[in-house]
Amino acid sequence: STAADLLGLMNYMEGLRTITVLETIMVASDENVTVTDTEFSNVTVRLYLPRRAPDSLKRAMLYFHGGGWCLGDAGMKSYDLMSRRISNELNAVVVSVNYRLAPEHRFPIPFEDVYSVTKYFLQSKVLFQYGVDPTRVCVAGDSAGGNLAAAVAQQLLEDPEIKTKLKAQVLIYPALQALDLDLPSYRDNENKPVLTKNLMVRFWSEYFTSDPSLREAMTSNKHVPAESGHLFQFVNWSHLLPAEMRKAHVYKGPTYGSAELAHKFPGFLDPRASPLLASDTQLRRLPPTYILTCEHDVLRDDGVMYAQRLRAAGVQVTHDHAQDAFHGALMFILWPFDLAVGHRLFNRYVEWVNENL
């Protein structure tokens, strides 16, 4: 779709978006789960309610899909299948959120959508309506959705109106920072399948603006101004990554860019877009956390560094690292052949949720 983009026929993201549309299925309930499309706080959600006779209050998961903030839909086959399985196997209410997407709706709109849905759902009267135990609610998401889940969990701690505390957060190969796009994982996996460095830079920049100057600066990793240099301590891989991930890579420290970009597009320095920028004091209050990272993934080091920082802050963290997997591995649980890795990782994540929610 890059050629189509150059010809002006089709925006690159619109090209990718056609795939989303082809993968999206209509709402359909089954014998185990009632599925409906509805709105929470004026945001569309796909709601999964287990049909089991309620002997006690249920658990609940708020799920945010991936797709670089530009693509994806709660109704895509793989997301629908995963939500159904979690709802049925864990007897849980699943709220899968169709937040508005960039480039039409840039940061902070996707974040604000998932945040307002979460806040709405956490009200006592809404939890009561769906028979949910207020002490057993988690947020979860993959890729850009993992970014949104991490940001929501952090922001809830700062919100005086929220009385219900999350029981857990589940971050599946999350994107967690837009400061350093030259981490060892970006270098090692620059051209690996599914998510290349160029595509991730494109997603990040589109989240904030269509102005190509941000994308160019991000590509050369010269987008952060010197006045924000103190933030690099939170993403300094030279001490946040284990030796086997640093390999022979040498940490050189940041190369600063012009202050103008950060003034025009301050989003990339905002913890609601880059949750790794939260202070240790904030991290300390977060709930038990599950993080899945994949070896062959530009986003690998984001998740690894967050796991390291959360542990150091005293948060209970389970970090599963899949040596044999690419970004997006969970999406392959639907393929006609049994792609064992996707099933294995999904089962492991469901098991953790079952034990910790």
Q: Are 245 and 239 in contact (CB under 8 A)?
A: no
pLDDT-based confidence at residue 16 (cuts at 50, 70, 90)? confident
pLDDT-based confidence at residue 3 (cuts at 50, 70, 90)? low
Residues 320-335: what's their mean pLDDT? Answer: 87
**Confidence (pLDDT) at 334:** 63
**Confidence (pLDDT) at 18:** 85
pLDDT-based confidence at residue 96 (cuts at 50, 70, 90)? very high
Q: Pick from 178, 173, 294: which is nearest to 235 by CA?
A: 178
Residues 304-319: what's their mean pLDDT? Answer: 98
Q: What are phi and psi of 218, to 5 degrees?
A: -65, -40
Residues 280-298: what's their mean pLDDT? Answer: 97
- On the CB side of 104, CA atoms within 13 Å amount to 6
pLDDT in tens, 173-227: 999 999 999 999 999 999 998 899 999 999 999 999 999 999 999 999 999 999 9
Count of structural domains within the chain? 1
State percent of the chain over pLDDT 90.
87
Tell me the pairing of strands 132-142 and 168-172: parallel
pLDDT in tens, 46-92: 999 999 887 899 999 999 999 999 999 999 999 999 999 999 999 99
- Provide DSSP, 226-283: GGGGGGGGGG-HHHHS-HHHHTT--------B-HHHHHH-GGGGSTTT-GGGS-HHHH
pLDDT at 122 over 60: yes
As a whole number, the mean pLDDT across the chain is: 94
Active site residues: 143, 297, 327
pLDDT-based confidence at residue 332 (cuts at 50, 70, 90)? confident
pLDDT at 310 over 60: yes
Residues 280-293: what's their mean pLDDT? Answer: 98
**Strand order, beta sheet including 43-50:** 33-40, 43-50, 92-97, 58-64, 132-142, 168-172, 289-296, 317-326
What is the rounded radius of gyration, in angstroms, for the C-alpha atoms of the chain? Answer: 19
- Provide DSSP, 117-177: HHHHHTSHHHHHHTTEEEEEEEEEEETHHHHHHHHHHHHHHT-TT--SPPSEEEEES----
Q: How many CB atoms lie within 10 A of CB 159?
A: 12
Question: Which CATH number fits the domain that encloses residue 4?
Answer: 3.40.50.1820
Q: Structural domain of residue 126, as residue ranges?
A: 1-356
**Confidence (pLDDT) at 67:** 96
Q: What are phi and psi of 336, to 5 degrees?
A: -60, -30
Distances (CA, A) of 122 to 34, 84, 88, 130, 156: 21, 21, 21, 11, 10
